Structure 1
Amino acid sequence: MNASPVVELVGAAYAYQDGPTVLSGVDFGLAAGRSTALLGRNGSGKTTLLRLLSGGLQCAEGVLRLNGEPVVYNRAGLTRLRTTVQLVVQDPDDQLFAASVGQDVSFGPMNLGLAEDEVRARVDEALQALDITALYDRPTHLLSYGQRKRAAIAGAVAMRPRVLILDEPTAGLDPHGQERLLEVLGRLRESGTTVVMATHDVDLALRWADDAAVLSPDGLRTGPVAELLADQALLDAARLRRPWGAAAAQVLRAHGLLGEGEPGPRTPQDLARWASAVREG
């Protein structure tokens, strides 16, 4: 990435108490307006990395920087960080706690000491972005799983962060729920929000993200998503399967139907459009 990172880890390491080192020597920066898929096997350190980026954990070694300045882990420093970077955890029940959706989404802005009309504007904006305006007065315990996921994300969006970090946001959602969530994330990206998603779904990563960050026993590798997810040695080390689109591109190139520099299909729809263009050409 050429742009200066909004938030970045430099030489970061972390080990849980009485446990092995989870991450070591990690350099990872997030530039404005990019979407990044974070991939790796279970236990590779994805959630730990996300919590380090959001200030939920503090590096044992290395530094977390916000807009180029080291983050100070006091009340003022963490407030500054969390007005820029918001983390949404995997299980929405670990995040939702208020009696109603409106109350839950308003909690963060209220803690910033904003005026009541500004809080309400942010809540309305977030609920609209997540397409859950009708749930404003709904008790959180009466929401479906997909609704709880979106309500948890709305709480983060109401803080108007520049960076939104999501830990396995599509886990537990049916295909329709996944598509609705991806549409929401697409709108947030278009508005300039940097979005980071930890996921096990390599096909989703390939079609959704600009960049990928892959954790393996050899460390963290970052780069354009299509490039990294075509690297079979990296995928094997991270215990990830090759994405559908990357496999299709390999077959097309083997038959001379796709040039080395040409991007391959990321979805079945891409392949159908490509095939139609070849037939018409």
Structure 2
Amino acid sequence: MTAGPHVVELLGAGYAYEDGPTVLDDVTFGIRDGRSLALLGRNGSGKTTLLRLLSGGLRPSAGELRLEGTTVSYGRAGLTRLRTTVQLVVQDPDDQLFAASVGQDVSFGPMNLGLPEPEVRERVADALAALDITALRDRPTHLLSYGQRKRAAIAGAVAMRPRVLILDEPTAGLDPHGQERLLEVLRRLRAAGTTVVMATHDVDLALRWADDTAVLAPDGLHTGPTAELLADGRLLDDARLRRPWGQAAAEVLRAHGLLGADATGPRTPEDLAGYAVVRTA
């Protein structure tokens, strides 16, 4: 991972649900400013548990959570400080949306902070604009499409103006057009200074989108630059993840002399098309 301090960091963290097996054990994992990070793992690997530990929704049974180097306390003041810095958007937007209209739902978090009404209105307007759903401000939440509900749920988190936005399987249930619209939203949020973390089991999406990746495998959590980590076939096999198509394409390109041994392979279909143009030029 890149140098620099962690915004939020788990140190030696473990967690087991009541009357259940240990889900995570001795996990050390941090999020740095300015990097897009994908968290990969098969279903049941502990991705959601890890995200809830990072955002304060769960308290580690062992180890600790630190925010900007300071151990997080789980009283009201400590959790308020954490949640104004780190926001989690869960996989199912219906678990997060509860107000009658989109605008009311997005305003809930800032209002709970006790902010003045003009600032709440400004934050709501900015969040709706960032997610491209300003026109839905007065729309009843139960009349939204699935993709609109996803964006409304993210807008509620963005209105808190966090430094770190954590998304649990944000593209799940979206059609290809919906996925592209969401990824464009995330690109704009990153450009505006928000650090974005995404949990997914889609290795192709991770290769395309993330600067860094963390993989939950049976022997623990592995982290590193995305292209480097996802080239480790043994790790992916252990984690029961398939190889990204871009890594397979890179091997073909190298075999035909179109890509150097140490060069980074294609991460998107557009990248691959560029190699084809070079070959036919």
Normalised TM-score (structure 1): 0.98
| Partner secondary structure for residue 113 of structure 1 | coil
2:125 alignment counterpart: 124
| Partner secondary structure for residue 63 of structure 1 | strand
Instruction: Provide Cα deviations, 1:152-203, integer angstroms capped at 9, x if missing partner.
Output: 0000000000000000000000000000000000011111111000111111
1:61 alignment counterpart: 62
Residues 195-206 of structure 1: matches in 2 within 5 Å? 195-206=196-207
1:269 alignment counterpart: 270
* Consecutive unaligned residues in structure 2, runs of 5 or more: none
Shift of 1:276: 1.3
* Consecutive unaligned residues in structure 1, runs of 5 or more: none
1:141 alignment counterpart: 142
Give identity over the alignment, percent. Answer: 80
Q: Distance in 2 between matches of 1:261 and 1:68?
A: 36
Matched, 1:27 2:28: yes
Shift of 1:13: 0.5
Matched, 1:52 2:53: yes
Matched, 1:4 2:5: yes
| Partner secondary structure for residue 258 of structure 1 | coil
Shift of 1:120: 0.3
1:84 alignment counterpart: 85
Q: Distance in 2 between matches of 1:8 and 1:274?
A: 39
| Partner secondary structure for residue 183 of structure 2 | helix
**Cα pair 2:203 2:241 within 8 Å, conserved:** yes
**Cα pair 2:258 2:279 within 8 Å, conserved:** no
Q: Distance in 2 between matches of 1:278 and 1:128?
A: 43
1:193 alignment counterpart: 194
Shift of 1:25: 1.0
1:71 alignment counterpart: 72
More deviation, 246-255/220-229:
246-255
Q: Distance in 2 between matches of 1:125 and 1:107?
A: 14
More deviation, 248-257/17-26:
248-257
**Cα pair 2:207 2:230 within 8 Å, conserved:** yes
Shift of 1:135: 0.2
Structure 1 outlier segments of 4+, above 3 Å? none
Report how many residues are paired: 280
Q: Distance in 1 between matches of 2:12 and 2:248?
A: 34
2:107 alignment counterpart: 106
